[in-house]
């Protein structure tokens, strides 16, 4: 019989830390900032407050008035709604901010955050509306008025179409980061205990085959129970999860080629049925094989449907 065991919950803080150290993220952030003029940062899944005040008005509000409840509500809403897909909210000052989720299977690891830009040129009436909210705060002083005004009208303006294109790029990058996360747990394999390293290499080299727990225990020269315990301790995953994650990673490479059919990919990487493949793919990739293929297409690809991956925007 094929081996069976429970699927554990990975340590998202460890994965988030490793992701922040990823050369891929560093390279993309620098390219994003240079190409768009906007800042981009990666926050944890429960970070409700903006970690980087990039808009002059946001900086002024934070430094001169100590922030406000309206800001906190906007950030909290952004994070609470952004667990499954990109979400954009508009704050009391008419500034847009976006959060794009980065997932490891079903687990939310964090958010790519950008924004704090206007959709249209700010008007005096807009500033007065924002000022009314700020005056409700206990730390507001009238001496803050002119610095706040100057900061407000110096804010960056991007049209809806331009900003939407930027968000689409972030969504695609979020998928790429999820793929990067799939590789992180398998790094450092050479440092694993030799019996566990043997099993890992065997499963990866024969990922299209099924093995009984007894067979794998024989390869490791351990008892079945001891193998399960040591494997989980060493890799952070169960045997089943390790094999399935590797299969899904191989499937992603095949799906990115655009040529192979999904049912062919499922069988080639070792799944017995298309339904089993679809369930497992969604579990570890966070979306269906069809959605993954659509999202991983280059921007401008004739078959891409960016309207399906854009943000939900609050007016």
Q: Which residue has the higher pLDDT, 161 or 139?
A: 161
The residue range of the domain holding 239 is: 184-295
Span 116-137, mean pLDDT? Answer: 90
**This prediction's pTM:** 0.63
Examine residue 229 and state whether it is found in any structural domain, yes or no: yes
Domain boundary among 119, 146, 171: 171
* pLDDT digits 0-9 by tens, 192-241: 899 999 999 999 999 889 999 999 999 999 999 999 999 988 887 899 98
Cα(247)–Cα(143) distance, integer angstroms: 62
State the DSSP string of 81-133.
Answer: H-SSS-EEEE-TTS-EEEEEEEEETTEEEEEEEEEEEBSS---HHHHHHHHHH
Span 233-257, mean pLDDT? Answer: 86
Asked if 108 and 30 sit in the same domain, the reply is yes
Asked if 18 and 163 sit in the same domain, the reply is yes
Length of the chain, in residues = 315
Asked if 249 and 271 sit in the same domain, the reply is yes
Examine residue 2 and state whether it is found in any structural domain, yes or no: no
Question: Among 62-71, 190-199, 201-210, 267-276, where is mean pLDDT lowest?
Answer: 62-71
Asked if 223 and 162 sit in the same domain, the reply is no
Domain boundary among 122, 143, 171: 171
pLDDT of residue 302: 43
Structure-token pair, residue 242:
């390790």
> Using an 8 Å Cβ cutoff, are 216 and 230 in contact?
no
Asked if 147 and 230 sit in the same domain, the reply is no
**CATH for 205:** 1.10.10.60
pLDDT of residue 29: 92
What does the angle CA 300 – CA 303 – CA 309 come to, to the nearest 5 degrees?
75
Examine residue 5 and state whether it is found in any structural domain, yes or no: no
Domain count, the chain: 2
pLDDT at 68 over 90: no
Cα(25)–Cα(125) distance, integer angstroms: 39
pLDDT at 126 over 90: yes
pLDDT of residue 64: 62
pLDDT at 4 over 50: no
């Amino acid at each position: 019989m094929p081996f069976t065991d429970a699927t554990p919950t990975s340590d998202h803080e460890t994965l988030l830390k490793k992701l922040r150290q990823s050369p891929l993220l560093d390279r993309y952030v620098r390219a994003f900032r240079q190409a768009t003029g906007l800042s981009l940062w990666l926050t944890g899944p429960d970070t409700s407050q903006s970690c980087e005040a990039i808009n002059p008005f946001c900086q002024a509000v934070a430094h001169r008035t100590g922030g406000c409840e309206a800001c906190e509500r906007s950030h909290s809403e952004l994070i609470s709604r952004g667990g499954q897909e990109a979400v954009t909210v508009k704050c009391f000052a008419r500034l847009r901010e976006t959060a794009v989720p980065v997932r490891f299977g079903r687990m939310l690891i964090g958010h790519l955050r950008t924004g704090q830009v206007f959709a249209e040129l700010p008007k005096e009436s807009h500033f007065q509306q924002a000022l009314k909210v700020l005056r409700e705060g206990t730390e507001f002083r009238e001496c803050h008025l002119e610095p706040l005004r100057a900061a407000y009208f110096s804010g960056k303006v991007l049209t809806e179409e331009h900003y939407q294109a930027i968000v689409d790029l972030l969504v695609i990058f979020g998928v790429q980061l999820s793929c990067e996360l799939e590789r992180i747990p398998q790094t450092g394999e050479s440092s694993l205990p030799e019996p566990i390293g043997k099993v890992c290499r065997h499963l990866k080299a024969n990922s299209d085959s099924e093995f009984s727990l007894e067979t794998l225990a024989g390869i490791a020269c351990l008892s079945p129970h001891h193998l399960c315990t040591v494997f989980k301790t060493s890799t952070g995953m169960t045997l089943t999860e390790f094999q399935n994650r590797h299969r899904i990673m191989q499937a992603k490479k095949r799906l990115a080629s655009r040529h192979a059919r999904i049912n062919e990919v499922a069988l080639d990487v070792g799944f017995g049925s298309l339904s089993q493949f679809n369930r497992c793919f969604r579990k570890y990739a966070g979306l269906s094989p069809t959605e993954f293929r659509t999202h991983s297409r280059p921007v401008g690809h004739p078959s891409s449907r960016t309207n399906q991956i854009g943000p939900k925007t609050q007016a």
